[in-house]
Structure 1
Amino acid sequence: MWKTLSILLLCLLLEPSWSRLAEDITYSSLDNCVTDHCFHQPAEACPSPDSKCRCRKLPYCKSAAVCCNVNKFQLTEGLACANISGNGHVESLHIRNASLDILNVEDWRKLKYLRYMTITDGQINSVVGEFAKHTIVSCLNLSSNGIVNFENRSLVNLYNLSFLDLSHNNLSDVPRFKKDGNITLDISANQHMLCSNLFDALKRTELHFSNINNSFCLFARTFHWFNTTETVPLTQVIGTHKLRKDCRKNCTCEPSRLDLVSGKQATIAVAVNCSGQSWTSLPSPLPPNTIALNVSNNNITSLELFSTDSSYQNIRELYADNNQITSILPLEGSQFLSSFAVLSLRNNKLKSLPTYIFSNILDRNNYVRYVFLGLNRLQCDCNTAKVLKVWLLTKQKNIPDFEEIYCDNMDMKVIDLNPSKLCQTQQDWTDYIYYIITIEVVLLVGLIAKVVYDYCVFKTSGYLPWPASKMPKLPCDWLCE
C-alpha cells in the first residue's frame, strides 16, 4: 500500500513537468519558424474563411500569430479576439492581404514583445506615425504592398533593426532609420527607386543588400535633369559608393552622369576633384570610368599623363586652372584631345599656343567644345598678331575668354595686336631693291625706245640724229646698213 501511495505521489509531482515538456514538444521554437531573417507564413496558415476572428495564434510556433484578409477595422477586431493586442505575449506577427491605405505604426505600440513584424501581399499606400522608442523589432518585412512613401521619422526608433524588406513596392526613396551597425535591405522590384536617393541612404547608414541581382534604380542620362532616365543595376550604385569611400586621399569622387553604350549595361561616370593640394604632377591612377578631373589650384607643370596613362583615356572634362603648366603639346595625339568637351587651363604659364592642335577638333560640328585659356601670358611676335589673333577671333564660340589672353613681352592683349606695327623690321639696302630694279627697267625701256626712234628717223630722212651721228661705228653696225 505504501508503495502504491509513493507512486501516486510521484506522479502528482511530475505532472507539471510532463505538461511543460508536452507544451515544448507541441510548440516549435520561434527561431525555427523564422526564415530568411524574418517570420513569414503561407496562406494555408490563415484562419479558416468561416472563422469570425481574422487573426489566430499559431499552435506550431510559440508566441507567433497570423492575420489575413483584413481592413483596418477587421485587423483591430482580429488582434483583440485572438488575444494578441491585449496581454498576449506575441513576438512574431504576419499580416497577409491587408487593405489599409495608410499604415500607422503607432498602432503597434502595445505589442512591446514584437521582434518579427511582417505585413505582405496587401494594399498600403503610405506608412505614417512613429514606432515607440525602444521597440525591439529586429526584422521588418513590408514587401508586396504597393507602398509609395514613408513619413520621415516612421522607422527612426528601430534601434535593433537588422533586416528590412521593402521589395515589390512603388518606392522612390529609402526611408530613414537609426542604426549603429549594419542593416540588410531588400529593395528589389521597386521600379521608381532613384539612384540619387540610394546614394544618400548609403551615406547615412552602413547598408548591405539582399537580392542584389534583381535590384535596379533610375539614373538621369544627363547631369541633373530627370527628363529621361535609364535603369542602372544596384551593383553600379554600390560600386560608386565604395569608390567614394576609397577615393584617393584629399580627393573627392562623385557620380557625374550616366554612360550609355549600345549592347552594354549603363554605367555611372565619375568626377574626381583633387583641387587645392599643392601637387606638382597629375594624380595617378584615376578611378575606373573617370570622365571629369579637377586639379585646379595646384602646382602641376605637365600634362604628360594624358598620353601615357591609360586611366586618363575616358576623361572628357579637364579643369586645371591656376597651375604651372607651360605647354599643351603633350595633349597632341591623345584620346582626350579627340573627344574632350571642356579644357580649362586658365592662369597657367603657357608661352605659345599651337593653333593646329585644336583646329581640326574645333571645326567639327558634332557638339560645342570649350577651351578656356584666359590669364595666360604668351610670348607675342609677328606670327601671333597675324595668325593667332585671327584664329582666336574666328573661334570665339569655343574660346569664351579669348579677350583675357595677354602678351608676356608687352602690355597688350593678343586680340589688340597690330600686325602692321608688330611686323616691322630694321631697314637695310635690301629694302630698296625693288626701287632699284624698277629704275633699271625704266632706263632699259627708254634706251630701247631711243634706238627704235633713231632707226625710224634714219630710214625716213637718211641721216641720224646728232647724238647717234657722233657715236663711233661698232663692228655690228653693218647689220643696220
Structure 2
Amino acid sequence: MSNVRNVIILCLLTVPSWCRLDEDMTYSSLSNNCVREHCFHQPAEACPSPESKCRCQKLRYCEIAAVCCNVNKFQLTEGLACANISGNGHVEALHIRNASLDILNVEDWRKLKYLKYMTITDGQINSVVGEFAKHTTVSCLNLSSNGIVNFENRSLVNLYNLTFLDLSHNNLSAVPRFKKDGNVTLDISANGNMLCLNLFDALQRTELHFSNINNSFCFFPKTFHWFNSTEFVPLTQVIGIHELRKDCRKNCTCEPSRLDIVSGKQPTISVAVNCSGQNWISLPTPLPANTFALNVSNNNITTLELFSSDPTYQNLRELYADNNQITSILPLEGSQFLSNFVILSLRNNKLKSLPTYIFSNILDRNNFRYLKLGLNKLQCDCNTAKLLKVWLLTKQKNIPDYEEIYCDNMETKVISLNPSKLCQTQQDWTDYIYYIITVEVILLVGLIAKVVYDYCVFKTSGYLPWPASKMPKLPCDWLCE
C-alpha cells in the first residue's frame, strides 16, 4: 500500500506526466479526482488541435476522460480508435462536441462498457435510434443543443443507472421513454415543440425531477382538441396538475381539460374532476383550484345548494349531474355558475318544475350554452302548455333534448301538450274577462249618451222625455236644478 501511495503522489507532482497504476485501484482513484462534475463537460479549448490527425484525445490529467470534436460518423469511429478509447480503453467520461451525425445509433457505444458520463453537445443530430446494452453503466447522459427531433421508443430503456438526462435546446415534442424505477432529473428547457400532454404521459411513467424548471415550457391546446391554435404553458403548471392527479379526492379523477387565457397573465390549465358513480348524497367540496368541469352523474345527490355558498364552485363552467335525485334548479339562481356556464346536464333527475326566467336572459345572450333536461317528469298544467312548451321550442339550439321532457301527471311530452284542451277548466276565467270588460264599457257609453240626450230635450222643450220623467227625484237632483 505504501508503494501505491508513493506512485499517486508522484503522479500529482508530475504535471502533465502520464501515470499508470494497478488498474483496479487507479481507475477508482482517478474517477473520484478528475471527473468532478455531475455530468462531464469540456470547453472547446480541450479539443485536439486542428493539425491533429486524431479528432479525439484523452485528457492529459485524467486518462479515464476523453473529448472528441468536429466529427462526422466516420471521423468519430476513427478518432475513438486512434485515441485508444474504443475497444479495451477504460474510459468513464466522454464529451463529443460539434458532431454532424444526422442519426445517432446508441448501439455503436456498446463497446464502451465502462462509460458513466456520456455528453454529446453542440452538434447536428436529427434522431436517436438503436438501444443501449442492458448492462450499460451510464448515469449521466447529456444530449443538449443538437436539434434532436425524436428518439426511437426503446433507445434509453436499458439505462438502469441513469440519474440525470439533459435534453435541453433540442426540437423534441415528447420525452423519450427510459427506466421506470428510481428518480431521474431531467432538463427539457428550450424545446420549442414540446407538447404538454406528452409531458403528462412521461410523468405518469417515471418519477421525474426537473432541472432549469423556470425556463421550461410546453405547448397546450386552447381548446379540447389539437388544433393549430396552441399556447405556451410553464412547466410548473404541468407538474402542479400531475401532483393534483395523485392527490385528487378519493374515488375521483382529476385530468387537464382546457387552457384558460387571460390577457396580461400566464395561461392556466383547467381541471376536469370526475366523481361519478360513488353513491354520494351531496356534492363534493372543496373542488381543486381551476376546476372547469365536474361530473357527479350516477349518484344520489338531492340539491345544488353548494353553488351559491361554496367559493370553489365559482370557476366551474360544466356540470354533469345526470341520474341523481335533484328536485330543483332554484339554488342556481344568482350564482356565478349560472352566469358563466357552458354545459349544465341534469338528465333523469326529479325536477318537477322549470322556472324559465332563470335561464331566459342567459340563453338569449349566448347560443353556445347547453342545457340538458331530458327524462325529467314535470308537473304539467295550463301554464306548462302555454308558456313552457313555447319556451322549449324557441330554445331548441340550447336544449338539444327538449323532446325528452315529460309530464309526471299525464302520459305525454311537454312539447305535445295542447293548450286548448288543458286550459278549459271551470276555474279558468281569464279568457272571458275581456268580454265582460267590453260589455261594461258599452253600457257605460250608452248611459252617458242617454243622459246627454235627456238634457238636450229638457233645454229645448222644457220637459224630460220618457222614461226620465217617470223616475223619482233623488236628493242630489237639486245640483242639476
TM norm structure 1:
0.86
For residues 314-463 of structure 1, the aligned pairs below 5 Å read 314-365=315-366, 367-426=367-426
For residues 52-91 of structure 1, the aligned pairs below 5 Å read 52-91=53-92
Structure 1 residue 282: deviation in Å?
A: 0.4
- Structure 1 residues 386 and 243: CA distance shift in structure 2, 3 A: same
Structure 1 residue 475: deviation in Å?
A: 7.5
- Structure 1 residues 37 and 226: CA distance shift in structure 2, 3 A: farther
Q: Is the CA contact (8 Å cut-off) linking 2:190 and 2:215 kept in structure 1?
A: yes
Structure 1 residue 435: deviation in Å?
A: 8.5
- Amino acid paired to 2:122: D
- Aligned to 1:175, what secondary structure does the other structure show? coil
> Take 1:430 and 1:92, find their aligned partners in 2: how far apart are those partners?
96
Gapped regions of structure 1 (runs ≥ 5): 1-12, 457-467, 477-481
Gapped regions of structure 2 (runs ≥ 5): 20-28, 458-465, 474-481
> Take 1:432 and 1:134, find their aligned partners in 2: how far apart are those partners?
97
Structure 1 residue 60: deviation in Å?
A: 1.7
- Amino acid paired to 2:409: N
The reply on whether 1:19 has 2:20 as its aligned counterpart is: no
- Structure 1 residues 25 and 412: CA distance shift in structure 2, 3 A: farther
Q: Which residue of 2 aligns with 1:194?
A: 195
The reply on whether 1:210 has 2:200 as its aligned counterpart is: no
> Take 2:321 and 2:136, find their aligned partners in 1: how far apart are those partners?
53
- Structure 1 residues 58 and 411: CA distance shift in structure 2, 3 A: same
Structure 1 residue 33: deviation in Å?
A: 4.0
Q: Is the CA contact (8 Å cut-off) linking 1:34 and 1:40 kept in structure 2?
A: no
Farther-moved stretch of structure 1 (13-22 vs 416-425): 13-22
- Amino acid paired to 2:331: P
Q: Which residue of 1 aligns with 2:165?
A: 164
- Aligned to 1:200, what secondary structure does the other structure show? helix
Alignment deviations for residues 372-417 of structure 1 (CA, whole Å, 9 cap, x no partner): 0000001111111111111111111100111111111111111111
- Amino acid paired to 1:407: C
Q: Is the CA contact (8 Å cut-off) linking 1:223 and 1:256 kept in structure 2?
A: yes
- Aligned to 1:393, what secondary structure does the other structure show? helix
Q: State the number of aligned residues.
A: 450
> Take 1:386 and 1:322, find their aligned partners in 2: how far apart are those partners?
28
Farther-moved stretch of structure 1 (146-155 vs 26-35): 26-35
> Take 1:303 and 1:154, find their aligned partners in 2: how far apart are those partners?
52
> Take 2:346 and 2:307, find their aligned partners in 1: how far apart are those partners?
14
Q: Is the CA contact (8 Å cut-off) linking 1:112 and 1:136 kept in structure 2?
A: yes
Structure 1 residue 248: deviation in Å?
A: 0.4
- Structure 1 residues 39 and 313: CA distance shift in structure 2, 3 A: same
For residues 16-55 of structure 1, the aligned pairs below 5 Å read 18-23=6-11, 29-34=30-35, 37-55=38-56
- Aligned to 1:164, what secondary structure does the other structure show? strand
CA RMSD of aligned residues (A): 3.2
> Take 1:285 and 1:432, find their aligned partners in 2: how far apart are those partners?
55
- Aligned to 2:242, what secondary structure does the other structure show? helix
Alignment deviations for residues 217-251 of structure 1 (CA, whole Å, 9 cap, x no partner): 01111111231110000001000111111100000
Q: Which residue of 2 aligns with 1:462?
A: none
The reply on whether 1:235 has 2:223 as its aligned counterpart is: no
Q: Is the CA contact (8 Å cut-off) linking 1:244 and 1:254 kept in structure 2?
A: yes
Alignment deviations for residues 6-65 of structure 1 (CA, whole Å, 9 cap, x no partner): xxxxxxx97776334423666883344445521111111111222111111112224111
> Take 1:133 and 1:211, find their aligned partners in 2: how far apart are those partners?
29
- Structure 1 residues 222 and 36: CA distance shift in structure 2, 3 A: farther
- Structure 1 residues 25 and 212: CA distance shift in structure 2, 3 A: farther
For residues 460-475 of structure 1, the aligned pairs below 5 Å read none
Q: Is the CA contact (8 Å cut-off) linking 1:303 and 1:325 kept in structure 2?
A: yes
For residues 166-185 of structure 1, the aligned pairs below 5 Å read 166-185=167-186
Alignment deviations for residues 183-222 of structure 1 (CA, whole Å, 9 cap, x no partner): 0000001011111110110011111100000100011111
Structure 1 residue 152: deviation in Å?
A: 0.8
> Take 1:56 and 1:16, find their aligned partners in 2: how far apart are those partners?
26
Alignment deviations for residues 443-477 of structure 1 (CA, whole Å, 9 cap, x no partner): x979x99xx9xxx9xxxxxxxxxxx9xxx98888x
- Amino acid paired to 1:114: L
- Structure 1 residues 64 and 395: CA distance shift in structure 2, 3 A: same
- Aligned to 2:62, what secondary structure does the other structure show? coil
For residues 206-355 of structure 1, the aligned pairs below 5 Å read 206-355=207-356
> Take 1:357 and 1:55, find their aligned partners in 2: how far apart are those partners?
77
- Structure 1 residues 196 and 430: CA distance shift in structure 2, 3 A: closer
> Take 2:284 and 2:135, find their aligned partners in 1: how far apart are those partners?
48
Q: Which residue of 2 aligns with 1:7?
A: none
- Structure 1 residues 407 and 167: CA distance shift in structure 2, 3 A: same
- Structure 1 residues 225 and 69: CA distance shift in structure 2, 3 A: same
Structure 1 residue 169: deviation in Å?
A: 0.6
- Amino acid paired to 1:267: T
- Structure 1 residues 54 and 381: CA distance shift in structure 2, 3 A: same
- Aligned to 1:230, what secondary structure does the other structure show? strand
Q: Which entry has the higher C-alpha Rg, 1 or 2?
A: 1
Q: Is the CA contact (8 Å cut-off) linking 2:180 and 2:205 kept in structure 1?
A: no
Q: Is the CA contact (8 Å cut-off) linking 2:35 and 2:65 kept in structure 1?
A: no
Q: Is the CA contact (8 Å cut-off) linking 1:352 and 1:379 kept in structure 2?
A: yes
Alignment deviations for residues 262-298 of structure 1 (CA, whole Å, 9 cap, x no partner): 1000110100000000000000000000000000000
Q: Is the CA contact (8 Å cut-off) linking 1:30 and 1:62 kept in structure 2?
A: no
> Take 1:198 and 1:175, find their aligned partners in 2: how far apart are those partners?
10
> Take 2:259 and 2:81, find their aligned partners in 1: how far apart are those partners?
53
- Structure 1 residues 67 and 474: CA distance shift in structure 2, 3 A: closer
